[in-house]
Structure 1
Amino acid sequence: MAEGFVEKVEKTTPEEVAESYFMALINRSMLQVVMRNPAGRPKALKMHDLMQGLALLVLKKEKFCTVLYDGSTDHQGSDQENGAHHLSILSSDHRELLKSWKSKSRLRTLFVFATNVFSPSLNTLPSGLKLLRVLDLEDAPIVKLPDELVQLFNLRYLNLRGTRVKELPKSIGRLHNLQTLDITDSKIEVLPTGITNLRHLIMYRCNRGHYSDFDYTYGTPSPSNICKLKNLQVLACVEANAGLMKQTKNITQLTRIGITKVREADNKDLCISIQNMKLLRYLFVMVTDEEEYLRMEALSSAPPCLNMLILVGKLEKVPRWFHSL
């Protein structure tokens, strides 16, 4: 979606169109399913060796992407000035490779794969990245985002999953085209307001090594303007509070939501919100601690599209709407 590969189809969301592409590729054996989630949806995919070889030939011919290693070796045999729109960096010092790459002005996608856990921070971005749509820094050992980030006006996808970043720039609201923000398992604890066009806000965190404990996962406080995100499709995972419970009544277009630290007093408002989410497919609800009751009886029926339900807490009785699942 972020790279602009998804066509517009009337009365269909971009997410649904994109998923149809994946299913078509799987059905044609161009992609193979490695793992599925409990609902049967493909979770991890790989490409067959023969298909990958053909793809690499096409990539080289079309000058579609470049891969830079330490020593600036491109495994497709193209030089650094081939004008590719997509760049992957596998390096212990990605800053130097970014500086040396000559085709920055055409770059749409940047993936950084740090090969050294002691890699330096990405303190600055080179100039000329005005067309960048995708910035993926997953697991990169960075602690601070460069100031130039808020100047990437075309940025649609920002992945900071697993990084050591502690805060987002307060002016991140200037990124009006940003659709996906993933801060899963980062150090970010507070989200600034001002982000307006997000479709996917993914921000749950896990207690590594504590999967047997009750609080193996926890959310992040939501931005105060969450109800203004009218395009939001995915909200996972957010900490409950009185304000959030009231605001979620207004974001009925969600297809996926995860809420942690739900108190018994929140249950009625939560049920009213869920009742209004007719498109909801995934619901995760977790109470504050293992002694807290989760009372979901106020929900008369489950959302009609629901295909995954995770409830974490004490159930005094099985809700009547379970029969409608």
Structure 2
Amino acid sequence: MILKVSMEDLSYDLKNCFLHCALSQEDYVVKRKRTVRQWIAAGFIREKEENRTLEEVAEGYLAELVNRSLLQVVKRNHFGRLKHCRMHDVIRLLALNKAKEECFGKVYDGSAATGAFSVEGARRISVQGGNVEQLSRSGATQLRALLVFERCIDIDLLKPILTSSNLLSMLDLQGTRIKMLPDEVFNLFNLRYLGLRGTEIESLPEAVGRLQNLEVLDAWDSKLTYLPKNVVKPQKLRYLYIYVHGAFEIGVKVPNDIQHLVGLRALQCVKATPKFLREVAALTELRSFSAYLVRTEHSADLSNAIIKMSHLVHLVLVTDADDEVLQLEGLYLPPTLSWLGLAGQLEKTWMHQHFSFWSHLNSLTRLELSFSSIDEQNFSCLFVLHGLLFLVLLKAFEGKRLDFYAGSFPKLKHLWVWGATHLNQVGIEEGAMQNLVELFFIDCPELKILPDGIKHLAALEKLLLKDTSEELVEKLRRREIQMNAAKI
């Protein structure tokens, strides 16, 4: 009764968000970003407060469901932000009964016990069984969402439902083994969310241009290496996620005229070309942007594009090759930036000055540098990043000594130094990195002694030394033996 009262007390929009989570499988891990995108596409989120985006309102709803104990926190990210959550079995059972009672949605498991399953009256169907023959014979004129959780499914058996579901706004096929979408999908004029994450889809037809109301196209971790020309026609597109394993080296090909998608918030893992970089400058609403195969000659177009992305939060730039110079002179990074990843050589003649210009990046919490050729002097310039929580140096530091002075990186919690082949000494002054929790040194063969001053890291919980010198490993082994002997 207490739980039922708690559910009845939810506002209309919050109740819809809660019941939507209940349509997932039992013990299913609800992911924040995906859930937020689905809630927005479903129309559950409306901007109610000034200066709050739809995404911020949605995350507020998720936090409220956690605070009401209707969702349990499974994982937070490195910054303490909610990442994954789960619904308790008892709460899910009550929620599913409520969803059925209010015609919000039903679960179809494909078992014989399901009997003559009908979708009539249900506005949302969660498919959690591979046998969809019964489902395909049901009418679906009122269906708004079709969520498929079964990996092995015959997509052709869903054609009758897709044909009759003129109101369908959400089709999520995440994780299924489908290789091709049926033509019926592209007749769904009201479709706002198309989820192809983790599928085996290799290409999309030009018919995708008919989905004029599409807001989310999520093909992350699929086999999609290029986008059709007509993908620029659904001008309501808000999120465009495309990534293939190995595409970090080649990037995903994006068609011309990308500038028409002026409402786009996310565009990731795309191949940089001069024409594309000139067009992407028009996408001023971007929050997340990553470009690959960047070359030195792209510098002017790239700088011009990024300077116009005044809301940018996540930026990743990867060069064509490890020794390609990532020319950032004249590049002004927006103060809204929270995550920055740079992979490529940085020009030493301006590195010192440019790092100093980053002092305005008060929101920057994560910095990943790869193949940057940073030396001792240039590294100290990064101390201007007072808000940094996570720092990764991947084959980026080429000096012999790494020093952390008193007051440096006051909020840093995670430091990963990877592939520093010449590093042989680390110095940590008292008052440096006072909140450091994790310290990793990986593939640093010349590191023969523990960091000098490591005792000052009072908050340190985890020290990882991997592929360092045998001399250091042996010292630690002897120290461990001595400590165990002392306990005995």
Alignment of 1:110 onto 2:146: yes
Partner of 2:242: 203
Partner of 1:125: 159
Equivalent residue in structure 1 for 2:105, among 50, 65, 70: 65
Alignment of 1:87 onto 2:125: yes
Partner of 1:248: 280
Deviation at 1:274, TM superposition (A): 1.3
Please state which structure has a larger fraction of its residues in helix.
Answer: 2
Residues 1-325 of structure 1: pairs in structure 2 closer than 5 A: 1-9=40-48, 11-71=51-111, 73-74=113-114, 79-94=117-132, 96-102=133-139, 104-116=140-152, 119-122=153-156, 125-126=159-160, 127-192=163-228, 193=230, 194-207=233-246, 219-300=251-332, 302-316=333-347, 317=351, 319-320=354-355, 321-325=357-361
Deviation at 1:145, TM superposition (A): 0.8
Deviation at 1:175, TM superposition (A): 1.0
Kept after mapping to 2: 8 A contact 1:66/1:80:
no
Partner of 1:212: none
Residue 42 of structure 2: SS of its match in structure 1?
coil
Distance 1:216 1:270, change over 3 A: closer
Q: Deviations over 1:85-116 (max 9, x none)?
A: 1101122344x2441233x1111110112243
Deviation at 1:26, TM superposition (A): 2.9
Deviation at 1:155, TM superposition (A): 0.2
The one-letter code sitting in structure 1 at the alignment partner of 2:168 is: L
Residue 41 of structure 2: SS of its match in structure 1?
coil
Kept after mapping to 2: 8 A contact 1:234/1:254:
yes
User: Identity percentage over the alignment?
Assistant: 38
Kept after mapping to 1: 8 A contact 2:171/2:191:
yes
Quick one: distance in 2 between partners of 1:149 and 1:312? 38
TM-score (structure 2 length as normaliser): 0.59
Deviation at 1:218, TM superposition (A): 5.3
Quick one: distance in 1 between partners of 2:79 and 2:335? 15
Distance 1:285 1:159, change over 3 A: same
Distance 1:288 1:34, change over 3 A: farther
Quick one: distance in 1 between partners of 2:195 and 2:254? 18
TM-align CA RMSD: 2.4
How many residues are aligned here? Answer: 311
Distance 1:123 1:274, change over 3 A: farther
Mean Cα displacement is larger for which, 14-23 or 197-206? 14-23
Mean Cα displacement is larger for which, 168-177 or 306-315? 306-315
The one-letter code sitting in structure 2 at the alignment partner of 1:270 is: L
Residue 219 of structure 1: SS of its match in structure 2?
coil
Q: Deviations over 1:274-318 (max 9, x none)?
A: 121111111111112222222223223x31211111222233436
The one-letter code sitting in structure 1 at the alignment partner of 2:284 is: T
Distance 1:216 1:33, change over 3 A: farther
Kept after mapping to 1: 8 A contact 2:155/2:182:
no
Structure 2: any 5+ residue segments left out of the alignment? 1-39, 362-488
Residue 111 of structure 1: SS of its match in structure 2?
strand
Residue 2 of structure 1: SS of its match in structure 2?
helix
Residue 220 of structure 1: SS of its match in structure 2?
coil
The one-letter code sitting in structure 2 at the alignment partner of 1:18 is: A
Quick one: distance in 2 between partners of 1:288 and 1:163? 28
Deviation at 1:159, TM superposition (A): 0.7
Quick one: distance in 1 between partners of 2:237 and 2:172? 16
Larger Rg: 2
Kept after mapping to 1: 8 A contact 2:116/2:134:
no
Distance 1:146 1:293, change over 3 A: same
Distance 1:40 1:122, change over 3 A: farther
Quick one: distance in 1 between partners of 2:147 and 2:360? 43
Quick one: distance in 2 between partners of 1:280 and 1:91? 40
TM-score (structure 1 length as normaliser): 0.86
Q: Which has the higher contact order (CA 8 A, sep 6+)?
A: 1
The one-letter code sitting in structure 1 at the alignment partner of 2:137 is: S
Kept after mapping to 2: 8 A contact 1:123/1:146:
no
